[in-house]
Each structure stands twice: as C-alpha cells, then as structure tokens.
Amino acid sequence: MIQLTIVRIEGYGPWTVTLGSDREAQLQMLQAKIYHDVQRLFSAKDGIVFFNRFDEYFAITNGLDAEDHREIQRELAKTYKDLSMSMAIGAGKTAFEANLDAYRARKEDNMLDGRARIFGNVHGADVAQIMHIDVDSSTKVGDRLSPYEVTALVIKIYSRLSEEFLKHNSLAFFLGGDNVMVISNGMTKEQADEAIKKVTAGIDIKLNCGIGIGRTGRRAAEAATKALDTIRDMRKEGKIQTIYEIRCP
C-alpha cells in the first residue's frame, strides 16, 4: 500500500489575475519558491514530491500522519500568507488508486482537519516503488539535434511513458533533463520492460530504468537512482543491462 498526498494551491487562478498583466515573471519566481519549500518540507519527513503542475504537487507520504501534514501546512501558511494550500491524502495498492482515493476525499468533502484544510485519511502505507527512467547517452543525441529538438524528443518520450505506465496504474513525472520518475507500485520488472519497449518503438533512443523499492518515497527514489547508476557502472565494464532493481532492506 502506498500513500499519496496531493497538495494544491487553492483559488490560484483568480489570485494570479490580481497581480495584473505584468505577472508572469513574478508567478514563475513564486512557483519555483513554493516547489522548493514543498519539496524541502516533505523530504525532511522522508517523503518525495513530484510537481504535477505548478499549482499542484504529488507527494509520496508513507509513514506521515495527520500531525506531520498539519505541521507542513503550518509552515506553508507562515511563508505564503496570501495563498491558501490544501492537502488530500489517499492510499491504494497502486499510485493511480491512491490518487483516486485522494481525489474522492476532496470531492466528497471528507475532512481530516478542517482548519488545516486537509482531506482524506492517513493509512499504514508501507511500500513505495519508483522507477527512475533516463535516456541512454542523451548528450550524444545533442550532437545530431539542436537544443530545442532534444526538448521536443524528451517531451514525446515523457508523453508516451505517461500513457503506457498509466495502463498499469503507475504515474510518471518529468524531473528535468532526460529524466522521468514513475510511481509504479504493483508493476513488475517485465511489465516495465514491455512498456518501455513500446515507448521507444520507432524512435532511435534507448532508455535505462532503475527500479527502487523502499518503505518511504525518499528511500524508494534513492534506491531507484542507485539502480540507474548501477546500470551506468555496468555499462562502463561492457555489460549492457537496461533494467535493474534495488530493494531496500
């Protein structure tokens, strides 16, 4: 079981308009700062945050209880006095199911803490599985494609990954560069291999995939990145393997 918390800035659209038309640079600076703070606060509690959109974030919150969430809400409220943030907590066997559970809690107004604007329930979630997917030798792709063409290719790969992995109830998030992380509870290595093959069919690109399994989001992400780095280390020794899994003890 995995627990996800969806953090959202409430009433953000109407609020942005109050800044006037010369607002975009200000909003970009604010959004970068909010993301920084949300990531800092959850990672200090062994979570990890993915920005879904800049006004909404997905956090893996295995092991975080109501008080942990309230504490983070208090910190955010102190820093962002003009904005109101809400949280919806959900759990499930897969990330997509946890996302649905959180979505329903918000929709049905199932409040865990009305004052702190936290919806849903905390669960005894004990496992997170993350896949860290990265383009093999993307720097070399830069020799034949210009920077913007590389971006367009990475977006295409990300879009296909999100579509293929969603079929397995897994959620993919773009991290920057040529990196994507997928919250993939319930998916096997073989299913991942097959999904990745579909994504790269017809494109002259190879993807590597590190799989990490741990009790919390942060530990799973660490293991996934370690697994990806292991693929790179093996490659240096001439051993080509595109998927590798590390399970935290």
Ligand X SMILES: Nc1nc2c(ncn2[C@@H]2O[C@H](COP(=O)(O)OP(=O)(O)OP(=O)(O)O)[C@@H](O)[C@H]2O)c(=O)[nH]1
The residues of the shown chain that bind ligand X, judged by CB under 6 A, are 134-139, 175-179, 225, 232
Taking CB atoms within 8 Å and a gap of at least 24, the contacts of 46-51 are: 46/216, 46/217, 46/218, 46/219, 47/5, 47/216, 47/217, 47/218, 48/130, 48/217, 48/218, 48/220, 48/221, 49/7, 50/171, 50/173, 50/175, 50/181, 50/183, 51/173
Binding segment toward Mg ion, per CB under 5 A, in 128-136, 148-156, 158-166, 239-247: 128-136
**What is the smallest separation between the CB atom of 153 and Mg ion, expressed in angstroms?**
12
Q: What is the largest CA-CA distance in the chain?
A: 58
Q: Nearer to Mg ion by C-beta: 27 or 205?
A: 205
* Cα–Cα nearest to 53, from 174, 165, 150, 161: 174
Q: How far apart are CA 103 and CA 92, in angstroms?
A: 12
Taking CB under 5 A as the binding criterion, the range among 122-130, 152-160, 172-180, 221-229 that sits at the site for Mg ion is 172-180
**Nearest distance from C-beta of residue 140 to Mg ion, angstroms:** 10
Instruction: Determine which residue in the list 68, 134, 164, 222 makes contact with Mg ion, applying CB under 5 A.
Output: 134
Please identify, using beta-carbon distances, which residue of 50 and 165 lies nearer to ligand X. Answer: 50
Q: How near is the Cβ of 152 to Mg ion at its closest, in Å?
A: 17
CB of 232 to Mg ion, least distance (A): 9
| Contacts to Mg ion by CB under 5 A | 134-135, 138, 178
